[in-house]
Structure 1
Amino acid sequence: MKSLRLASLGLLALFTTTLSAADWYVATSGNDSAPGTREAPFASLDAARNAIRSAKKAGPPQSHTVWVADGTYTLSVPFQLTPEDSGTADHPIRYRAVEGANPLLSGGSQVTGWKQEGNAWVAMLPEDLRSPLPEQLIAGTKPTTLACEPDEGLFTLVGVTEEAEPKKPATQTLRLTPEDYAATLAKVTAEELSQVQFLAYHKWDNTRRHLDKLIPEEHAMVSSGRKMKGHNPLNEKTQFRLENFAAAMDTPGEWFASPDGKIRYLPREGEDPSQLKMIVPRLEKLLVVAGKPEANQFVEHVTIEGLRFCHGRWTTPKQGFEPSQAASPIEAAVQIDGARHLTIADCEVGHVGIYGIWFRRGCHNCRLERTWVHDTGAGGVRIGETTLHHEANLLTHHITVDNNILNSGGRIFPCAVGLWIGHSPDNVVSHNEIADYFYSGISVGWRWGYAESLAKRNTITKNHVHHLGYGVLSDMGGIYTLGPSEGTVVTGNIFHDIHAYSYGGWGLYTDEGSSDILFENNLVYNTKTGGFHQHYGKDNIVRNNILAFALLYQLRGSRPEEHRSFVFEQNIVYYDTGSLLDGRFSQVKHDSARNCYFDASGRPVTFEGRSLEEWQKTGHEKGSIIADPKFADPEHHDFTLASDSPALKLGFKPFNTDDVGVYGKPQWIKKAKSGRYPPVHAE
């Protein structure tokens, strides 16, 4: 009798479970008027979402899974989730790819009818893509280059004159060398002048503008916009490139669309545009999670899994893009507000003109996992805002970004960051591959100085961050921090191959007001201007790190203050070129002890011209030594310590780097390691 009762209870549980879950199906062969079953699927995610809304209103709570079959789904509008699309902890909602499928949600339109004309291929843009004309083109799965000059390197301005009146746009006249003008702007037709843009690189910022007119006799171009910032103006040191004019289309992979609707493409070796899907992005955003945190209405308990979101547009507005650190005004193709317990996993966001993913306002307990964010006009991922929110419903916090690949960004906004955290606490950024950006890899904090900041208790761990800068911007770091950051920990990361234009290609960079941050067990190598630099801050701890092979100097301290700026202890500093210290290191109050220094070139190690013994008499480097730490193969970046390393006697604790970066399936690890990036600086 007992066994019969247990069996009955088991059947009841199975029946209840079946009733509490619903499956919906989407396929490219489907129909949005269908019931959304496996046999009669929907054609779009919108239809499945709407069906779930109706089911929630009509029946008892249940879980919902939307199964998306393989194929390309062209979006007419971004896929949007609102608070009414929420699940619950017991009955979550999932949008996921069918097992083995790789569905693509595209915000672009295919351009067809390509015909060869000489070395180029020509097609007519559809009417809906002609106004405004596109600025991005994807050839199959590869990005292309909007016609630009120079094809390699950058031009440098020879002079800038600004005219500014109150309450009116400022006008800048920017002068080129006669040779650069003759090779570029002299070839621009009157018809295409309104399309031409210049992209200027100055310190850590970019200016992107249209041209008002040309002054041939002065070899100059004129543009108008915001008055230049005194601390970072356009000047005779500013590098720039020119984009979007027909004469610049002279290198395979470049293209140009003219006002008559013709688009011309110069194919790379092996490309046949008539056989490729040539995609022009049409939508700026692809996925919008539109919670209403101001009204305490959230999108909750939703998972998006195995979907690809690609082909997002950027069109430079008439007023252009004014300088802004980290391209902070730029939004994301996957824009998320008011989300709780949202998970994005095993997805792809690529070929987009802005940032990839942004957990912006009022988000918490969300996760981004095993997702590839690539070929972005700006950066990869953003967390939080530049605005400081004290209201619990508006603050973004407890976001986990784990085991993702973020690469090849900054293609339209080079000043963007691979991963950016603003006024947001208690986030975890772990085991990510972050590579191939023109500015900082990771940026944490948004407060210049010691006023209130909410970027606290963030954990940055086990990330592989590399190939940054490429010598076009300055003032950057593998990790860059700002403001008071109590409880923030940067541990177990690898930062390497970071090269700035003029100053600042650092590994660990604590900029203005950075305070109470622990940097521990990090490996930094192949930087331009040092493994560690503190501009100014308070009580940061730099402990048990390996800092190797900086080009110009190894350590820098910039601004002396009354308080202790940092602690530097139990580190290994290994180099073979440049000097050890830079800036006003001896004037910056800091504690230093038990460090191991070695110049592999055989030169004596000196501290601002003094021997270690003389330096120690000033109160620095208690118990530190100058000795070969006995790395296994430092020239090939194997920094394993021998068992008899003198650094071990100082208390240095060897740390494992084999688990840095992504983990999981072999093909995922292979994908992260397969990236091939150019050298960050010319030899």
Structure 2
Amino acid sequence: MRIFLFLISFFLISCSPVHNNVQEKATSVADNSEFLMAYPDGQIPQNGLSLTDALQKAKALLSSNKSVKLTLTSGTYYLTKPIMLGPEFSGTKEQPFIISAEEKGKVTLSAAKLLDLNWQPHNQLMKAQLTVENIDQLYINGKKQIRARYPNFDASVQVFNGYAADAISLERIATWKNPVGGFVHALHEGRWGGMHYQIEGVDEKGELKLNGGFQNNRYSPLHKKYRYVENIFEELDAPGEWYFDKDTLTLYFYPPQGMDLANSQIEISQLDQIIVLQGDSTNPVKHINIQGITFTQTKQTFMKTNEPLLRSDWAIYRGGAILMDGTENISVTNNTFYNLGGNAIFVSNYNRHANIASNEIFDIGASAISFVGSATAVRSPSFEYHEFVEIADMDMELGPKNENYPSKSIATDNLIFDIGQVEKQVAGVQLSMSSDITVSHNSIYRVPRAGINVSEGTWGGHILEYNDVFETVLETGDHGAFNSWGRDRFWHPTRPEMDKLAKTHPDLYKADVLSPIIIRNNRFQCDHGWDIDLDDGSSNYKIYNNVALSGGLKLREGFNRTVENNIILNNSFHPHVWFENSDDTFRHNIILASHKPILNNFWGNEIDKNFFTTEQALLKAQKLGLDSNSKFGDPLFIAPENGNYQVSEESLALTVGFKNFPMDQFGVKSEHLKRKAEKPEFPNLYLNNNDAANSNEMDLFGATFKSVTTLGEQSALGIPEIAGALIINIVPNGKAALGGLKKGDVILRVIDSEFGGADKIIAISDLLTSYRSRKWRGHLEVVIMRNQKEQHLEINLLD
């Protein structure tokens, strides 16, 4: 049978895009197949169908067991409502329902609306009357504009692109005529993600009435420094900023010099989601492939991010440009997601065999790819850090209660960067209340928090391999390129109670983490935390064949973690507060600094047969009763300047059991994505502290240091002994300069106000060691000598 069937776009909308005209096509296919063409509104051929009729026709074809392929012709499709694909749109394994672009990169599904405005001057601004009641995001000629804010947007500022301690001061609030509808954005007080508030008014004290803060699952006041305010008319003071007055339905815009607004394309976001695949475990949406399409211009959803994810630090909004909820065998491949206000792809509740592959995701407000199950599947769930179900009341059965969670799915070969541009508790790939998810060959970088995050142990079985994750934790702190929590049933927020549980119920962690979580063959880098951070009870992990470029590896609490055959550069192993019966193992690893234990009196099953680069670091470990069979020396990396940290055949590291593994398989695989993907900077290695000590100079946090080594230097600097790290050069507006350091200052001590104590700085090698062990906190407290007087300064490592 030959079919000539033309299908208009998925959408009932006003659209007049410029696109390549495609002639009507006749399709010669197998008897059981139908080939449908979709056209943007305004370009529909004579025999085209309306959206309603076309979807009814497609549904009828699928219900009659036809194989349907829908091809979208070039252009921009503006939606007035999301595309809803229920079980009636399901294909089969042999004949999936395919939705694809005729030419990749030429088809855009937009959640925005085109406006035709009559602009009028208003002082240095321009204004226009609208008929819509709200504007979430404004695009002019395809470029996102900045909602009026204080401080003004500055791309060179790392945190929030601009922050100010006085953003909501009484003095500033007093200058606002009507701030209702404005927003306050801030980091958590501990920099554990971000929080957002809507302004509901001003009280009798002149302070803002705020609603929000629920985006972080660990309650906190606003950070006193890292905050900004937006959507306030009086803050409309910079080119490219805009403000919408909901009372008068007036849009105000400050045009950059030379912009011709009368001949510009104006778009506003109006939808949270673009495609929703909605079924359930008893009647799922099955076998749909979505490929080659660009998704863009969804609304910001930070005020909808209010569902807590058990006892993790996360809250989530179950939505995205694509939402998959109740599906089987759905493929989302070779698409582009950019300029989104919230999440890109959200796999929610019951899902099996989802395939998220070879997509490019960038410039988005929240997370890239999320697999998040339902708390109804969790036995005895707790929903905040301090909550706990008493053992007497706890469901002690193993595993999930029902099937309402993602499992047996994959996220592979995705290029993810510049995400979390609004929300800060986000990840490139997020796993929560799910099992058996493979995360492989993704390149993830420039993210405000983790590149890959596992929120809790339910229910394990994940494989994380061949990912390239770097430039992470850029705006927050106390986190990692890979981060996990394990606040499962066995975990208690009070440490003595948890110690009792660990002894009386030592295998309870296995009730949630049913199978090991495997982290292998990845490259991780985090300058403001750990490269691999297993926090708060993370249990049942196998970690091997990874390269950690910067932040080292941390294991806190938890059980049964085996860490072997990893390379940890310019850092080391951070064991934090282990259980007496943790059964942890750390062996056959190459580490370039001494172990960094904190409040740790127990050492697990085995810490031995590792390779250090200094005798000093090895002896320090052996004084703790560890590493009796470990060795030290130069590991003889083959080409570290090119990122090849395999060791030569002569390396002593091979004699303690270390084995080489591939160094050229990290990150995306598709050729078109490999051409676009960036790579991390490979660090200058300090193979031992003597390298720093013997070096004339060392660069660190925006300054160049040298050791104080002569009596003349001591006398000239007015210091009590020949010791310290002297600043001989400093980068203007770098971290050191912003922290108050100046050329000629000498760092004498690095202090620890949280845990007490201080590191005395004799040489620049001591400063390097102290920095390595403390940089995860996001700041460094130092005592300096300046003009023969000691001063206490704090260097912010985030900015």
Shorter chain as denominator, the TM-score bin is 0.7 to 0.9
- Confirm or deny that 1:507 pairs with 2:527: no
Which residue in the other structure is 2:693 paired with? Answer: none
Output the amino acid matched with 1:518.
Answer: K
1:489 pairs, out of 518, 530, 533, with 518
Q: Deviations over 1:8-55 (max 9, x none)?
A: xxxxxxx997101110111126777x7xxxx844575x6543222122
Per the TM alignment, residue 405 of structure 1 is displaced from its structure 2 partner at its CA by: 1.6
Q: Which residue of 1 aligns with 2:567?
A: 546
Tell me how far 1:331 sits from its aligned partner. Answer: 2.6
The equivalent of 1:234 in structure 2 is 221
Report the 3-state secondary structure (helix = DSSP H, G, I; strand = E; otherwise coil) of the residue aligned with 1:654: coil
* Partner in structure 2 of residue 670 of structure 1: 675
Which string of whole-angstrom CA distances, capped at 9 and with x for unpartnered residues, describes residues 165-193 of structure 1? xxxxxxxxxxx96797378434322x334
Cα distance change of structure 1 residues 567 and 26 upon mapping to structure 2, 3 Å threshold: same
Q: Deviations over 1:354-392 (max 9, x none)?
A: 211111121101201111222222111111325152466
Task: For structure 2, list consecutive stretches of 5 or more residues without a partner in the other structure.
Answer: 1-26, 378-399, 489-508, 682-733, 736-777, 779-796
Which residue in 1 is equivalent to 2:658? 652
What per-residue deviation string (whole Å, max 9, x for no partner) do you get for residues 433-477 of structure 1?
A: 122221111112435xxxxx32x2111111111222224343444
Between the aligned partners of 1:106 and 1:198, the Cα distance in structure 2 is: 26
Give the secondary structure class of the aligned counterpart of 2:570. Answer: strand
- Give CA deviations for 1:464-514 in whole Å, capped at 9, x if unaligned: 112222243434443324355322111111111442xxxxx1111112222
Equivalent residue, structure 2, for 1:424: 434
Q: Which residue is 1:437 aligned to?
A: 447
* Structure 2 Cα separation of the partners of residues 21 and 420 of structure 1: 37
Aligned with residue 556 of structure 1, among 570, 574, 581? 574
Task: Work out whether 1:380 is the aligned partner of 2:368.
Answer: yes
- Structure 1: distance between partners of 2:477 and 2:430: 17
Going from structure 1 to structure 2, the CA distance change for 1:566 and 1:276 (only over 3 Å counts) comes to farther
Q: Provide the rounded CA distance (Å) in 1 between the counterparts of 2:40 and 2:166.
A: 55
Partner of 1:137: 138
Aligned match for 1:332, one of 320, 324, 338: 320
**Are 2:596 and 1:584 aligned?**
no
Query: In the alignment, residue 525 of structure 1 is paired with which amino acid?
Result: L
Deviation at 1:103, TM superposition (A): 0.7
- 1:535 is the counterpart of 2:556: yes
Q: For residues 397 and 585 of structure 1, what CA distance do their matches in structure 2 show?
A: 36
Aligned-pair distance for 1:237? 5.1
> Structure 1 419/229 Cα, relative in aligned 2: closer, same or farther at 3 Å?
closer
Look up the match of 2:629.
623
Equivalent residue number for residue 469 of structure 1: 473
Percent identity (aligned): 20
Structure 1 residues 517 and 83: CA distance shift in structure 2, 3 A: same
CA-to-partner distance for each residue in 1:58-77, whole Å, 9 max, x for gaps?
x5x22111111000111111
The equivalent of 1:642 in structure 2 is 648
Does the CA-based 8 Å contact 2:108-2:293 persist in structure 1? yes
User: Does residue 410 in structure 1 map to residue 428 in structure 2?
Assistant: no
Alpha-carbon contact 1:407-1:436 (below 8 Å) kept: yes
1:661 partner SS: coil
Assess, with a 3 A threshold, how the Cα gap between structure 1 residues 315 and 521 changes in structure 2: closer, same or farther: closer
SS of 1:541's equivalent? strand
User: What amino acid is aligned across from residue 421 of structure 1 in structure 2?
Assistant: L
In structure 2, what residue type is equivalent to 1:335? L
Equivalents in 2 of 1:349, 1:235: separation in Å? 31
- Measured after TM superposition, the shift of residue 315 of structure 1 is 5.7
Distance 1:235 1:372, change over 3 A: closer
Residue type of the alignment partner of 2:523: I
Which residue of 12, 19, 26 maps to 2:38? 26
Assess if the C-alpha contact under 8 Å between 1:122 and 1:262 holds in 2: no
3-state SS in 1 of match to 2:61: helix
- Rounded to whole Å, the distance in 2 between the matches of 1:319 and 1:425 is 23
Structure 1 residues 614 and 355: CA distance shift in structure 2, 3 A: closer
Contact 1:110 1:277 in 2 (8 A): yes
How far did residue 119 of structure 1 move? 10
* CA separation of 1:308 and 1:367: change in aligned 2, threshold 3 A: same
* Amino acid across the alignment from 1:672: A
CA distance in 1, matches of 2:203, 2:70: 59
Task: Report the secondary structure of 1:331's partner residue.
Answer: coil
Give yes or no for the alignment of 1:146 onto 2:133: no
Q: 2 CA distance for matches of 1:381 and 1:650?
A: 39
Q: How far apart are 1:287 and its partner, in Å?
A: 0.5
How has the CA–CA distance of structure 1 residues 234 and 154 changed in structure 2, closer, same or farther, with 3 Å as cutoff?
Answer: farther
Letter in 2 for 1:209: Y
Tell whether 2:588 aligns with 1:573. no
Distance 1:517 1:342 in 2: 29
Asked if the contact 2:244/2:250 (under 8 Å) is kept, the reply is yes
Aligned to 1:299: 285
SS of alignment partner, residue 19 of structure 1: coil
Q: What is the alpha-carbon distance in structure 2 between the residues aligned to residue 310 and residue 67 of structure 1?
A: 19
Q: Hey, what does 2:713 align to over in structure 1?
A: none
Distance 1:201 1:117, change over 3 A: farther
Partner amino acid for 1:572?
Answer: I
Compute the TM-score of the two structures, normalised by the length of structure 1: 0.79
Please tell me the residue identity of whatever aligns with 1:581: K
Letter in 2 for 1:91: Q
Is contact 1:430-1:461 (8 Å) kept? Answer: yes
1:592 Cα offset (Å): 1.2
Cα 1:354/1:673, change in 2 over 3 Å? same
Moved more, 274-283 or 566-575: 274-283
